Amino acid sequence: MEGKFSLPNHKLKYGKKDLSRAYQSVPQPKVKDVVSSEFFSNSPPTVFVGSKLKYPNVNVGILAPPVRVEDVEVYDSHKRWVQEDRGIQEILDFRGNLINSRFLSSVHSPRGQTGGKFLDISQEVGMAKKAVDMEFHLKKKVKLGLKFDRVSKPISSPADLKNMKITDNTKIERPIDKVFSDTDLKAADAVSYLYKKKTEDQKLSQLLSLGTMGLGKNRRLVPTRWSITTVDDIIGKNLIKEIKDCSSINEHSLFFGYFLGNYYLVFLFPDVFSYELFEMYLPGSSWNPSLGNPNGEITVATDYESYSGRKNYASNCVGGYYAARLPLLESLKMNKRQASTLVLRFETPDYWAGLGVWVVREAMKKTMETRKLVFDSRDDMLKRGREIIKEELNFDINQLLVRSKLLEKVKTQMKLSSYFS
């Protein structure tokens, strides 16, 4: 069943198993906690659209360190963080040394009515292929720090803009420029086009948030946290349509993976596509701090979709639902197969700071790239899944399996198949 609920602890075990390398020095600029109101820097390039103001107003901010950094791209690159095995503290250090130089705007500004110079600059930075050198003039000095959000990455210090300008030539890749110039192309079609052109998901969500794609009359700014999930959902729905033309897998497959304090257990059943996600937030983890009580309850969220799909937003697992689904669908498409898939996520205290749903997406990518375990029967696969989580976390997943809508339908389908055969 979909929803949220709690489970007793039962003496869970989880040691420090962060597989990323030990914390190392990060190339941070040597600056004071309080930064001058005027500074020359470069943006990774990153632009953030906030969601805290009353609609239709939003804050739009260009992120940059307080001084120019040679390799500034690593300050906001999911791909680099994964490739270089960056740990949580390193990523927080990167984010904490970015200033969010922002201005107030209406979401309708990209329609060409009230955008102004600041929005034009923000769109140019957001579309840029590489880091952009800039000069910033703030209304007052700013203190470095971080704010956390469940969907987007930790947000760096906000500072109100007085003026800013780009001080070098920006380069925009041809497919992105094409989408920006085509005001007759719908936003969903633009996302699909750029995805096929191998534009990274991080870039796609930024482009959508800045109103650089879609029908001219409909273009608008979209808060970053919404654009991330929208992009995941658009691409996911397209992939679902494609894999529904493929044959079902002919075996029971199990995948198990780990990334930044998150364990993933993925069950693939030989059936038409359906998808269910259970997210377990263990005591002491980012989204279940339990006020430092390691014996507190486990909080659980779950959402499900059948072959016919969802008609509403996955309000329990929120953005993580769509972020976890995308790598799964990419794996199925690559293998030209469809399957009913049950995903169990265990967020442990090793994931002690929320970094955004990109962690979910990358964790699932890593999981689907591991060596799959193949079984002759559903029961054998579920049994092995129970053993893995019992060994790793001392948790009995039967507490979740008995609540699974997908598993109930799979069992019913097998009974019907046996009856008619």
DSSP SS3 for 40: strand
Mean pLDDT of 178-188: 97
Q: Which of 352, 296, 346 is nearest to 324 (CA)?
A: 346
Please name which of 91, 57, 377, 386 lies closest in space to residue 259, comparing C-alpha atoms: 91
31: DSSP letter: -
**How far apart, in whole angstroms, are the C-alpha atoms of residue 260 and residue 297?**
22
Percentage above 90 pLDDT, the chain: 75
Q: What is the pLDDT of residue 20?
A: 35
Helices assigned H by DSSP within 244-342: 319-334
Closest to 132 (Cα-Cα) out of 213, 74, 174, 73: 73
Average pLDDT over residues 282-303: 78
Rounded distance, CA 282 to CA 317, Å? 15
Q: How far apart are the first and last CA of the chain?
A: 30
Tokens at 296, concatenated: 């507190």
Q: Which helix (H) or strand (E) holds 262?
A: strand 262-269
340 has a pLDDT exceeding 80: yes
Residue 22 has pLDDT above 80, yes or no: no
Of 46-60, 99-113, 181-195, which has the strongest mean pLDDT?
181-195
Question: What percentage of the chain exceeds 70 in pLDDT?
Answer: 87
Quick one: pLDDT band at residue 419, thresholds 50, 70, 90?
Answer: very low
Query: Which domains are present in the chain?
Result: 34-166 (2.40.50), 174-241 (no CATH), 246-420 (no CATH)
Q: Which residues of 307-319 are buried (b: 16+ CB within 10 A; e: fewer)?
A: eeebeeebebbbb
What whole-number distance in Å separates Cα of residue 302 and Cα of residue 7?
A: 13
**DSSP secondary structure letters along 263-289:** EEEEEEESSS-EEEEEEEE-TTBTTB-
Average pLDDT value over all residues in the chain: 89
**Claim: this prediction has a pTM higher than 0.75:** yes
Amino acid making up residue 74: V
Q: Under the phi-then-psi rule, with left for phi > 0, alpha for psi from -120 to 50, and beta for the rest, what region is 174?
A: alpha
Q: Give the pLDDT band (50/70/90) at residue 3.
A: confident
Of the given ranges (16-25, 56-65, 394-403), which has the lowest mean pLDDT?
A: 16-25
- Calculate mean pLDDT across residues 25-50: 76
- Is the distance from CB of 322 to CB of 236 less than 8 angstroms? yes
Strands (E), 69-175: 99-106, 132-138, 142-143, 146-147, 155-166
Residue entry with tokens 């869970």: 12
- Which distant-in-sequence residues (6+ apart) come within 8 Å of 131 by Cβ? 42, 43, 44, 45, 72, 73
